[in-house]
Amino acid sequence: MAGLDDLYQELILDHYRRPRHRGTLAHPAIIVDQHNPLCGDELHVTVCLDGDRITEIAHTGEGCSISQASASMMSDAIVGHTTGEALELIEHFRQVMHREVQADEDQLGDAVALEGVNKYPVRIKCALLSWMALKDGLLTRMVDQQESR
Amino acid sequence: MAGLDDLYQELILDHYRRPRHRGTLAHPAIIVDQHNPLCGDELHVTVCLDGDRITEIAHTGEGCSISQASASMMSDAIVGHTTGEALELIEHFRQVMHREVQADEDQLGDAVALEGVNKYPVRIKCALLSWMALKDGLLTRMVDQQESR
Amino acid sequence: MPLAADIDARALRADFPIFAPVGDREPLVYLDSAATSQKPTAVLDAMDRYYVETNANVHRGVYALAEEATARFEAGRDAVARLVEAPREGTIFTKNATEAINLVAWAWGVRNLRPRDVVLVTEMEHHSGIVPWQIVAEITGARVVFAPITGDGELDLDWIARTLREAPVRMVNVVHVSNALGTINPVAEIARMAHEHGALVLADGSQSVPHMPVRFADLEADFLAFTGHKMLGPTGIGVLVGRPAILADMEPFLGGGEMISDVRTDGCDWADLPWKFEAGTPPIAEAIGIGAAADYLRHIGLEAVRAHERALVAYALDALEDVDGLRVYGPPDPDRRGAPISFSMPDLHPHDIAQLVDRQRVCIRAGHHCAKPLMRTLGVNATARASGYIYNDSADVDALVRALHAARAYLGG
Amino acid sequence: MPLAADIDARALRADFPIFAPVGDREPLVYLDSAATSQKPTAVLDAMDRYYVETNANVHRGVYALAEEATARFEAGRDAVARLVEAPREGTIFTKNATEAINLVAWAWGVRNLRPRDVVLVTEMEHHSGIVPWQIVAEITGARVVFAPITGDGELDLDWIARTLREAPVRMVNVVHVSNALGTINPVAEIARMAHEHGALVLADGSQSVPHMPVRFADLEADFLAFTGHKMLGPTGIGVLVGRPAILADMEPFLGGGEMISDVRTDGCDWADLPWKFEAGTPPIAEAIGIGAAADYLRHIGLEAVRAHERALVAYALDALEDVDGLRVYGPPDPDRRGAPISFSMPDLHPHDIAQLVDRQRVCIRAGHHCAKPLMRTLGVNATARASGYIYNDSADVDALVRALHAARAYLGG
Ligand SMILES: Cc1ncc(COP(=O)(O)O)c(C=O)c1O
Ligand SMILES: Cc1ncc(COP(=O)(O)O)c(C=O)c1O
C-alpha cells in the first residue's frame, strides 16, 4: 500500500472527513460552478469580499476524497488574502500539480499535503477543481469590473 | 527469374509484340471504353455483329504487356461466337482469374496462357480489362434492345 | 474455478503476455475490458510479422512485398466479415467505432436529414452514438430525441413505437449492449418497428460483437459499428458494416487516395465498395491484427464466450451483494445483460473506489463511461464499473470483492 | 558507398528488421518509401511494450496501468510536436494524412465555404488534397480551382498571385513536397500571398516532414498534415497541426467520446484542444509508435536526412541517364526536389517496369501515384517511381539501373 499513501495521507483524509468551509455563503460577491469532465463532479463555490480582501469562502457539491479535501484546504489557505494574492497562490498550486515547482508550505498550509497527487495525472483534475473554480470566479469578476467602469 | 515466367510467357509476349485485332472498326454495333483505375490505362473496344454473332472485334489504347496481350487473345477467342457464348466465355475467364476454376484451353485458346496471372492480384485487373470492357458493351446493348422493344 | 465448461480462463491467460507473472509482483486483475481488452500474442505477432516480413502499402504496388501486404490486409477484412457473417463489400474499416458512426452521420446524415427530421437515440447511448448526431443535427436543422429507459435499465419499447408513429424519425441509433448498464437491447425488434416507418437503424455493437454471437442479418439493422481494441484487436481500427445496397447509394465521406476510381479537375468517380469509404492509406497492420483477433474469437467460439460471461456476471452479481450498501445498476437478470457491471457504494466516490482497489492491482473503471445523459437519468455523476472477458474468472471477482472491503475499511465509512 | 558523411545507410539498416538477411535470398532493395517507409525496431518495440506492459484505455482510468498508458500516449504527442516544433495543443492525431485534410475540409469547410468561394489546390496535389475539397465544394457550392505547373514541374507562382487577387479564394491546399514529381514547393511564399488576401493555407507535409527539417512556424501555413507510416511510424495514425487560435474557433469534426467536456440531451460542450478534435478511443499504440519514430528521426537529425537524400537523388538522376530513353519528370535540380523520382521508358509500361525489376527484389512503384490530374498534365497514364530514404544508398540505385537494363532486355524493344 506504499505508493497510494501519498494520495491518501492522514491530513487529506481528515479534510475529507471533516471538510472546512463547507456550505454556501449568504451574500457572496462571487458565485461559481465548475465541473470535472472526467467524473461529472460539480463544485459550487461562493466567496465574500471586503474590498479586495477575501473574507470567506464556502464550497459544496459532490466529489471524491481528493476534490473534497482540496476544496477544504484551499479555502483555509485563501481566506484572508487579497484577490491578487489568491491568484498567485492558485498559480503556485497549479504549478505544483504540474510538477513545475515544489510545494511551498508557508503559502499552501495543509494543501501542501496534496503535492503527492501530482503523481496521479487523472486525479490532478480532482485536486485542481476547486482552485480552478475560484480562479474562474476571480477573473470573471475582474473582467466585469473592467467593463462596468 | 522463375516465378515471373508464368506472367511473361512466350505466348503472352508474342501477343504483346504483335497484337491481333488491333485498331478501330468502321461501323461497329458496340463501342465501349474501359479504364483501369490502378494505372489509368484506357482501352477502346469496337465490335461488329451479324445478327447475334460477333463477326469482328478491334481494340486500341495504351496498356501494359498483360492488358495488351489479353485484349489480343480475347479477340481471337471471341470472334465467331454468339453474344450469349461470349458472355459465358468471359465469365469463365473471370473465374480463372479469381482462381475459381481451371482454365479450359478449348474455350480460351491462347488466352489460356494468362492463367498464371492469377498469382499476381494487381495484374489480374490488367488481364481482365478488355474482357470486362466487352462484357459491359454486350450487357449495355442487351439493355438497350430490351428498352427499344 | 472455471465457471462454465466452455472456457478455462486461467488457461487462456497464457495467450495474453500482459498476464505473465513478473517476479513477485501481485497478479493483474483486469476488469476493464469494456474500456479496452487485452491482446493475445496471436494478434501482436500477426502485426509484427506484417511489419517485419512484408511491410508495404496496399492495393497499388505490383512488387511481391506489396501483393503480400494487400493479401494479408484483405484477409483481415474477410476474417472480420466472417465473424459477424457480413458481406465483405459491406465491411468497411474505420479508425474506431466512433468514426464508423460519424461516417453514417456525415455521409448519410448531412445529405439526407431535413429540418425537423428526427434522429432517435437512447438515453443509454454512448457519447459516440449521440454527439455525431447532435453535430449533424445542428448543421441540417434535424432534431435528436432520446428514448427513455425503465427503472431496470431497459429501453421503453412502447415509447419508441409511439415516437416512430408520431414523429418523422429518419434514423435510430441504438446500442446493442450498453457499456454502462450492461443491458442487452432487442435490436431486431426495434429495427422491425423502425423499418415499418421508413427509418434506418444503426446498431452500436462495440460491446456485443466481442462478447456474443452477432450475425449482421439477425440484427436486422442497416448498419453495425464496432471497434478493434475491445475485441482483442489493436487500437486504431474500427468497423462499419452496412447493407451494400444502402452503402452503394450513399455518397462517400472522407475523400482522398484509395476511395476513387478517377479524379479529374471537374470531379471524380468513386471506387467500388468497400473501398469507396476507405480514404487514404488504411490501418494495414491494424486490419491484420483485428483479423487475427476475429479468428481467435471464432476459434474459441462466441457461444462459449457468451456462456462464460453470463456465468461470470451471475457469480459477480451474487458476490457483490456481500458488500454493504453496494448498488448495481441495470437489469438484475444475467440473461438480459452483457459483461459490464456498474455500481456505486454509499459515501465512497467511484474515483476513490477505483483508485483504492488498484492497490491490489484490481483494475476497474470510474466515471461517466461516456454516457452522461444516462448518468443524469440514474441521478449520479459517476459510477464504478467492473467488466470481465474471456480471461477473467470467479477468482477475479473474489479479488474485487476483497479489494472493495479493503477500500471501505481504508477510507472509513 | 556512403553518399554524405552524415548518414551511413548500410549501418542504419541494422535497425530495420525487414532488411535482415534471410538465407541466401537476394537482399531487399526497397525504393518505395514515398508510398510507405520501413519501420525500425525502436518503433515496433515501443508499440509492443505498450500492449504487453501497460495496455489500457487512456485519459479516464485511474488505475496505474491506465495512467501509464495515458502518459506514454501523450508523450507520443509531445515527440511529434517537438519534431515540427508545433504547440502540443495544436497537434491532433488522426488516422492518416488524408483524415487530417478531411478534418479541415469538413469541420472548417462545410461551415465556412459559401457558394462561389474558391478553394485553390495545385495540379500536383495528391488526391487526398483534392477530393475532400471536391466533396465539400459539392455540398457548399464552392469551387475547386487547380493551380497549373510549369514544364519543369514547378508551381506557377504568378498564376497563383493573380488568382488570389482576382478570385474569392478562401483556402489554399498545397503539397510541400510532391509525391509524384519530387518538387519542393515554396509554402511560406504562397502562404504570405494567401494571407494577404485572407485565405487560409493547408500544407501537405506527407512527403516533407519525414525527409527534411520542417518547422511549423517557418511554413507560415495555418495547417500542416502528415502521416505516420511514411515517417518510420506505424499505419493507422496521421497528424494535423493547426494554429491553436484557428482550431479554437473551429467547430469539431467527429463527435463522440474523448472530445467532449459535457453531453446533455440538448447539446454538448467540447473538450479543450487538442482533444476536441480526437473523437473515440485514439490510436494509442500508434501514437506511441509515431512518437518513437519522431524521436528516432530527431536522433539522426533531419538536416542529415535531407543531405543524404539530396546526394542520393543527385546520384540517381545521374545514374538513370544511363538507361536508354528513360525520362525523368520534375525539376532537374536536386536542390529543388525531395526523394521521389518519377520516370518513364519508351515502349515499356510502368507496370511491366515495376514487375520486372521486382525480379531482383527491387521495389518501385507504378501507377498514377494518386495524382491523376498531374498525370493528365504530364500527358501520361502512369509513371514508374523510385523513392529513397535513410536506409538507401548508391548501391540501391545501381541495383535499380541494372534491373532496368534487364527489364528492357527481357521485354524487348
Ligand atoms: C503528398 C501526399 N499527401 C497525402 C498522402 C496521403 O497519406 P495517407 O494515405 O497516409 O493518408 C500521401 C501518401 O499517399 C502523399 O504522398
Ligand atoms: C457502446 C460503445 N459505443 C462506442 C464506443 C466507442 O468506441 P471507440 O472509442 O473505440 O470509438 C464504446 C467504447 O468506448 C462503447 O462502449
What CATH code is carried by the domain that includes residue A75?
Answer: 3.90.1010.10
Dihedral sign for Cα atoms in the order D357, D362, D367, D371 = negative
Of C258, C274, C298, the last residue of a domain is C298
Ligand 1 centroid to C261 CA: how many Å?
16
Q: Where residue B3 falls among pLDDT bands split at 50, 70, 90?
A: low
Q: Which domain holds residue B39?
A: 2-147
Q: Where residue C391 falls among pLDDT bands split at 50, 70, 90?
A: very high
Residue D327 lies in a domain: yes
> Cβ of D367 and B123 within 8 Å?
no
> Cβ of A122 and D271 within 8 Å?
no
Q: Which domain holds residue D134?
A: 45-298
Dump pLDDT digits (tens) for C252-277: 999 999 899 889 999 899 999 999 99
Amino acid in position D362: V
Q: Burial code of C323-358, b = ≥16 C-beta within 10 A, e = fewer? A: beebebbbbeebebbbbbbbbbbeebbbbbbbbbbb
Tell whether C292 and C323 lie within a shared domain.
Answer: no
Tell whether C307 and C201 lie within a shared domain.
Answer: no
User: Which atom of ligand 1 lies at the shortest distance from residue C257's CA?
Assistant: 9
Is the pLDDT assigned to residue D40 strictly greater than 90?
A: yes
Mention every residue, 6+ apart, whose C-beta is less than 8 A from residue D249: none
Dump pLDDT digits (tens) for A98-127: 999 999 999 999 999 999 999 888 899 999
Tell whether D283 and D363 lie within a shared domain.
Answer: no
Tell whether C274 and C365 lie within a shared domain.
Answer: no
Is the pLDDT assigned to residue B1 strictly greater than 60?
A: no
Q: Which chain C residues are closer than 8 Å to D94 by Cβ? A: 95
Q: Which chain C residues are closer than 8 Å to B6 by Cβ? A: none
User: Which atom of ligand 2 lies at the shortest distance from residue C97's CA?
Assistant: 11
**Helix, strand or coil for residue D162?**
helix
**For residue D226, which ligand has an atom nearest its CA?**
1
Of the ranges B24-28, B119-123, C32-36, which one carries the lowest mean pLDDT score? B119-123
Amino acid in position A1: M
What integer pLDDT is reported at residue C3 of this predicted model? 64
What integer pLDDT is reported at residue B138 of this predicted model? 96
Instruction: Answer whether A44 touches C (CB < 8 Å).
Output: no
Of C48, C256, C366, the CB nearest to D98: C256
Dump pLDDT digits (tens) for D332-372: 999 999 999 999 999 899 999 999 999 999 999 999 999 99
Active site residue C363: no
Is there an atom of ligand 2 within 6 Å of C175 CB? yes
Sort strands A42-50 and A53-61 into parallel, antiparallel or unpaired: antiparallel
Write down the pTM of the prediction. Answer: 0.96
Q: Where residue A2 falls among pLDDT bands split at 50, 70, 90?
A: very low
Tell whether D179 and D276 lie within a shared domain.
Answer: yes
Dihedral sign for Cα atoms in the order A18, A19, A20, A21 = negative
Residue D361 lies in a domain: yes
Residue C81 belongs to domain with CATH number: 3.40.640.10
CA-nearest residue of chain C to B3?
A: C64
Quote the number of domains for chain A.
Answer: 1
Tell whether C383 and C246 lie within a shared domain.
Answer: no
What integer pLDDT is reported at residue C69 of this predicted model? 96
The answer for C236, left when phi > 0, alpha when psi is -120 to 50, beta otherwise, is left
In chain C, % of residues over pLDDT 70? 99
- Take residue C318 and report the three cell numbers written for it: 451474487
What integer pLDDT is reported at residue C413 of this predicted model? 53
Of the ranges A77-91, C293-307, D260-274, which one carries the lowest mean pLDDT score? D260-274
Tell whether D18 and D64 lie within a shared domain.
Answer: no
Tell whether D122 and D213 lie within a shared domain.
Answer: yes
What integer pLDDT is reported at residue A147 of this predicted model? 84
Tell whether D258 and D334 lie within a shared domain.
Answer: no
Ligand 2 centroid to D259 CA: how many Å?
13
D85 close to D70: Cβ distance less than 8 angstroms: no
Residue D3 lies in a domain: no
Tell whether C139 and C172 lie within a shared domain.
Answer: yes
Query: Mean pLDDT score of chain C, rounded to an integer?
Result: 96
Nearest to C181 by CA among C387, C355, C358, C322: C387
Residue C39 lies in a domain: no
Residue C194 lies in a domain: yes
In chain A, % of residues over pLDDT 90? 79
Using CB atoms, which chains have 3+ pairs under 8 A with D? A, B, C
Of C278, C298, C318, the last residue of a domain is C298
| Per-state percent for chain A, helix, strand, coil, to nearest 5 | 55, 15, 25
- Going by alpha carbons, the residue nearest to atom 15 of ligand 1 is D206
Of C298, C317, C344, the last residue of a domain is C298
What integer pLDDT is reported at residue D215 of this predicted model? 98
What integer pLDDT is reported at residue B2 of this predicted model? 42
Q: Where residue B4 falls among pLDDT bands split at 50, 70, 90?
A: low
Is the pLDDT assigned to residue D328 strictly greater than 90?
A: yes
Nearest-angstrom CA–CA distance, C364 and A36: 19
Tell whether C294 and C305 lie within a shared domain.
Answer: no
DSSP letter for C224, please: E
The residue annotated as part of the active site, out of D101, D136, D221, D370, is: D370
ipTM for the predicted complex comes to 0.94
Is the pLDDT assigned to residue A48 strictly greater than 80?
A: yes
Using CB atoms, which chains have 3+ pairs under 8 A with A? C, D
The residue annotated as part of the active site, out of C46, C137, C370, C386, is: C370
Ligand 1 centroid to D227 CA: how many Å?
7
Residue D321 belongs to domain with CATH number: 3.90.1150.10
What integer pLDDT is reported at residue C237 of this predicted model? 98
Tell whether D309 and D397 lie within a shared domain.
Answer: yes
Residue C38 lies in a domain: no
